[in-house]
Amino acid sequence: MKKRILVTGGAGFLGSHLCERLLKEENEVICLDNFFTGRKQNIIHLINNPFFEMIRHDVTMPFFIEVDEIYNLACPASPIHYQYNAIKTIKTSVMGAINMLGLAKRVRAKILQASTSEVYGDPEIHPQTEDYWGHVNPIGYRSCYDEGKRCAESLFFNYHRQNNVRIKVVRIFNTYGPRMDPHDGRVISNFIVQALNNKDITIYGEGTQTRSFCYVDDLLDGMIRLMHTPDDFTGPVNMGNPGEFTILELAQKIIDLTKSKSRIVHEPLPADDPMQRQPDISLARKTLNWEPQIPLEEGLVKTIQYFKSIN
């Protein structure tokens, strides 16, 4: 029997790929989005599918529907977007979690939270394991996002303990791919757009800070596997590609792959920018038999193709 699945934030980068994938797997999909950072363009190709519905709605308001599963992705993800209206970002994470958990409780749906590596803040242990509690500045510019997501995790676990809601929590590390917003300021989209236009590549700070980049298809594979685990497995579980690169290495790779004439320039490092980030994915390997399959270069080629097509 078809499952009916709600995807909040379904018109965004990850959400739109997830809707597509869940439809391919013969489910009925309801995509809910307020279009803050998402776009109709991301899901326009799904609109004629009779098993797909798009609803304009803000997760800070209660929402009633009968569904079997909920993927809660609604929340701006890039620093520029989540700091644009910091209070709204907190409301989206916290009130959004309360509303979606309330819904899951009422209709007995299973619910997955898209949490983030940002719950570890600027980590003091490396690579990060799920039992690390993090090093987060609670009053900094990133706190609207980090602390909002941390509070959402707390809500998930309390609804689970108090009300037996079936929860899954995934901590997503930097993920990239086609349909990233070219203007949201994330490093991969910024560098590719700059390189394709032979504009300066803007490295913040020295470029010695590191990130680990996961291709979108790999991540979704892991998220769907997590949703299908037995009810006694809640996570949190890290998901990302353990391949770790400095931002300078990333810039050079993108220049090479695009054969760009861009120069590298340095700009000030934003406040509280984490110095290093790499997921320890032992738990996902063990419990989900999951690990990323797409190396950085291969994923970058696909992403560059996408940005060329919209450039």
Q: Which residues are catalytic, by number?
A: 145
Residue 258 contact, options ligand UDP, ligand NAD, none, Cβ 5-8 Å cut-off depending on partner type: none
Q: Cβ(283)–Cβ(236) under 8 Å?
A: no
Q: Cβ(179)–Cβ(306) under 8 Å?
A: yes
CA distance 264 to 303: 20
Cα dihedral sign, 32-35-37-42: positive
Helical packing angle, 187-196 and 247-258, nearest 10° = 30
Q: What angle do CA 56, 73, 99 make, to 5 degrees?
A: 70
Residues 6+ apart with CB under 8 A from 162: none
Which of 7, 28, 30, 33 binds ligand NAD (CB under 6 A)? It is 33
Q: Cβ 239 to ligand NAD, closest distance in Å?
A: 9
User: Does 34 engage in binding with ligand NAD (CB under 6 A)?
Assistant: yes
CA distance 279 to 211: 9
User: Does 14 engage in binding with ligand NAD (CB under 6 A)?
Assistant: yes
Residue 210 contact, options ligand NAD, ligand UDP, none, Cβ 5-8 Å cut-off depending on partner type: none
Residue 79 contact, options ligand UDP, ligand NAD, none, Cβ 5-8 Å cut-off depending on partner type: ligand UDP
Q: Cβ 261 to ligand NAD, closest distance in Å?
A: 29
Is the peptide bond preceding residue 236 cis, with omega within 30 degrees of 0?
A: yes
User: Does 177 engage in binding with ligand NAD (CB under 6 A)?
Assistant: no
> Total number of residues binding ligand NAD (CB under 6 A)?
28
User: Does 77 engage in binding with ligand NAD (CB under 6 A)?
Assistant: yes
Cα dihedral sign, 293-10-272-270: positive
Q: Cβ 1 to ligand NAD, closest distance in Å?
A: 28
Binding residues vs ligand UDP (CB under 6 A): 78-79, 174, 185-187, 190, 202-204, 209, 211, 247, 269-270, 273
Select the span of 30-38, 125-133, 160-168, 224-232 touching ligand NAD (CB under 6 A). 30-38
Q: Which is nearer to ligand UDP, 17 or 110 (CB)?
A: 17
Residue 209 contact, options ligand NAD, ligand UDP, none, Cβ 5-8 Å cut-off depending on partner type: ligand UDP
User: Does 189 engage in binding with ligand NAD (CB under 6 A)?
Assistant: no
Which of 76, 123, 148, 236 binds ligand NAD (CB under 6 A)? It is 76
CA distance 203 to 187: 9
Residue 303 contact, options ligand UDP, ligand NAD, none, Cβ 5-8 Å cut-off depending on partner type: none
Q: Cβ 122 to ligand NAD, closest distance in Å?
A: 16
Which of helix, strand or coil describes residue 233?
A: coil
Q: For the chain, how far is it from start to end, CA to CA, in angstroms? A: 42
